[in-house]
Amino acid sequence: MSIPSAPHHPLTDTEVRRIRNDFPILSTQVNSQQLIYLDSGATSQNPLTVLEAEQEFYEQRNAAVHRGAHTLAVDATDAYEAARETVAAFVGASVEEIVWTSNATEALNLVAYAFSNASVGRGGPDAQRFILRPGDDIVVTEMEHHANLIPWQELAARTGATLRFIPVDDDGALRLDDAATIIGPATALVAFTHASNVLGTINPVAELVALAREHGALTVLDACQSVPHLPVDVHALGVDFMAFSGHKMLGPTGIGALYGRSELLNAMPPFLTGGSMITTVTMERAEYLPAPARFEAGTQRISQAIALGAAANYLTETGMQRVQEWEEHLGQQLVEGLNELPGIRVLGPGAGVNRIGLAAFDVDGVHAHDVGQFLDHQGIAVRVGHHCAQPLHRRLGLTATTRASTYLYNTTDEVAAFLAAVAGVRPFFGVK
């Protein structure tokens, strides 16, 4: 599919203000204040083109895909598969390598359960490579989101494999020297995040993939915080599987995707079974379609997939290199500004080190929930809590933090307003 060329000049506040006009919700007032939305790490907002794409489907093409032979069903199927083609191109994949899921969590569970199905004898001879046994290792990292930790805990429990993890240091950086010893001959699978949703760290994918390949281990990449914010070419990254969510990249909720190398997807036994993913069914057995259809049982997320295609187009037309550079600029503004405030501890890389455009921080003497309420009263939306990364917070001696996360529609003025508000937190609560 032909992808339109993106502009090459950097984003500026002036252009970002124009971009903001595409997002109706950003004109909202919250608590009588103009909304400053700094929670895109949890859920991004939707441009009009995405909202209109989903509405247009229901108004003009609403029908089941890959089932009916009538014109409306054919049109729906064409739009649905065109969206797959668009999203595949957005991440550098082939179209048959993209499986629609409800979100990244489902995508990661799909891989884990397919492995466990192979381990109980499902699948043909090619599925043997996915079988895990006692003595095999599954390796994750200490900075993982729960969605890329708990499925592997469960897979280890079902198969007898051992779950091991690459630790982080006191600053939250992966201990790569330990990784070289933890990933070894017993390693069957290495699952890790591309960019941390707490630290903002961008992990060295090539180095971890090389370690895994040295021992014949498969790799699974959690790309929820990278695909929306960085140019991603999954073939260049060299990972075997990759998961990402639509609602973090300007798309709707209820849609995500799993990338898998074609030969691996076609060898894996299915996770969900039923209609639309079969070729022949008798009362005794069933035969399954090639990927991606074999992993898409039942009625699919049709309108959401189409809207995600529109989101990918919006980001492509804006230019992902420009998005990355703008968010890196905002991320440095966040870190530098927070570091100047007394009693503030910022997690993750220090000023001057590359990060995605977010910063999680602890305010000495004030609970994160109170910080969030204080900011919300001023119309500033941030995330508070453990951000689905309890082990990481525990390692860093914290139970909760406040996280501000930016996107292509945030301005430097908004970040400055956020920093000014944070400066008032400790005085408001009487902390000296």
Domains of the chain, residue spans: 13-48+319-428, 54-316
Residue among 381, 380, 398 at smallest CA distance from 389? 398
- Give residue 121's pLDDT: 83
Domain spanning 54-316, CATH class = alpha beta
**Interatomic CA distance for residues 432 and 416, integer angstroms:** 23
CB 199 within 8 A of CB 225: no
**From 42, 51, 293, 388, active-site residue:** 388
User: Would residue 224 show up in a list of annotated catalytic residues for this protein?
Assistant: no
Q: Which residues of 89-116 are buried (b: 16+ CB within 10 A; e: fewer)?
A: bbbebebbbbbbbbbbbbbbbbbbbbbb
CA 367 to chain centre: 27
Tell me the pTM. 0.96
- Give residue 432's pLDDT: 81
Q: What is the pLDDT of residues 335-347, one digit of tens each?
A: 999 999 999 999 9
Mean pLDDT of the chain: 96
- Give residue 6's pLDDT: 60
β-strand 256-260 against 218-222: which pairing, if any? Answer: unpaired
Whether the predicted pLDDT of 1 surpasses 60: no
Average pLDDT estimate for 184-208: 98
> Would you state the CATH architecture of domain 13-48+319-428?
Alpha-Beta Complex (3.90)
- Give residue 7's pLDDT: 61
